Amino acid sequence: MDQKRQIDWEKLGFDYIKTDFRFISVWKNGSWDAGKLVEDNTLTISEGSTALHYGQQCFEGLKAYSTKNGDIQLFRPDENAKRMQKSCDRLMMPRVPEELFILACKQVVRANRAFVPPYGTGATLYLRPFVIGIGDNLGVKPAPAYIFCVFCSPVGPYFKGGMKPVEFCVSDYDRAAPNGTGNAKVGGNYSASLLPHNEAVQRGFADCIYLDPATHTKIEEVGAANFFGITESNCFVTPKSNSILGSITKYSLMHVAREYLQMKIEEREIPIDQLDEFVEAGACGTAAVITPIRSIEHNGKSYVFCKENDPGPVTKKLYQTLTGIQFGDVEAPEGWIVRV
């Protein structure tokens, strides 16, 4: 067992901590090089890089988990690899092969073993793969070269001392256009969400929920997490839309709901004025895991889904089963867990 770093694992938040190694591969003349681990955490790129001017970049987020017996494992990295290929397609960037993506993740975790939080702390090692367009360029066109990089940072449990329900408002802004880049994990969607997020926080909310950009009548998602609701008849409902980012956590929860908790599942439109149909609601994503939603405010009306500090029973069961699978305490569906 390697020596772990002196880190107060229990106190970790979601902040950048510089680790020892990151993986970098460069694309030039039609192919990615083999890639290597490097110690330098800075990138030197041309001032004309398309990533800087035209937002030609995408990213991913996944975690490495320590199990009870000391193994380290990734949760569905193949899904992140596939999603990043879709994002690359959308922005005319070269696809990173799935094997290179998973190899890079494994190498970064192994090289930074001392930063992987121990089992039982609730903390994990967050991996951040990304692709950026680089090289001398001026006009609007795809870059002549690209960097694929994976770096990592230990992060804390999203919930310190249990799941804390949050309050959301509904934004008048859109984070994406109806047939835009909402379904690709690209930085532009995030810079567009900074102002709406800030205004929601100013008004006393944790974050805002976006409506469908075409009609502003249906729920889409939260800035960095998908939405789900639980009906009285124990059905897991989540929005279907072309402009939301398909959360791997969300699709995993749908499987957990159906196969582990014998619930019904529905992926469909959710009118914002029909939130009364839900007895529980939550936001889900790799960083957020499951954030229970206490209330959503819309047009002066507040829809309430749980008591102040007490998530509903279904939300709790979903959370326990999903994190149980991720930390190796609950048997995983075939192919979901990749040992490092």
Ligand X SMILES: *Cc1c(COP(=O)(O)O)cnc(C)c1O
Chain contacts with ligand X (rule: CB under 6 A)? 61, 185, 221, 224-226, 245, 247-250, 285-286
Q: Which residues of 65-87 are buried (b: 16+ CB within 10 A; e: fewer)?
A: bbeeeeebbbbbbbbbbebbbeb
Least distance between ligand X and beta carbon 284 (Å) = 6
Least distance between ligand X and beta carbon 61 (Å) = 5
Which amino acid would we find at residue 307? K
Least distance between ligand X and beta carbon 74 (Å) = 13
**Among residues 77 and 285, whose Cβ is nearest to ligand X?**
285
**Among residues 61 and 97, whose Cβ is nearest to ligand X?**
61
HSE-up (13 A, CA, CB side) for residue 219: 29
Least distance between ligand X and beta carbon 308 (Å) = 26
**Among residues 111 and 132, whose Cβ is nearest to ligand X?**
132
**Among residues 137 and 181, whose Cβ is nearest to ligand X?**
181
Q: What are the CA-CA distances from residue 312 to residues 122, 137, 202, 290, 328 (Å)?
A: 21, 53, 27, 12, 24
**Among residues 73 and 247, whose Cβ is nearest to ligand X?**
247
Least distance between ligand X and beta carbon 180 (Å) = 12
Helix (H), strand (E), coil (C) string for 26-93: EEECCEECCCEEECCCCCCCCCCCHHHHCCCEEECCEEEEECCCCCEEEECHHHHHHHHHHHHHHCCC
User: Strand pairing partners for 145?
Assistant: 134
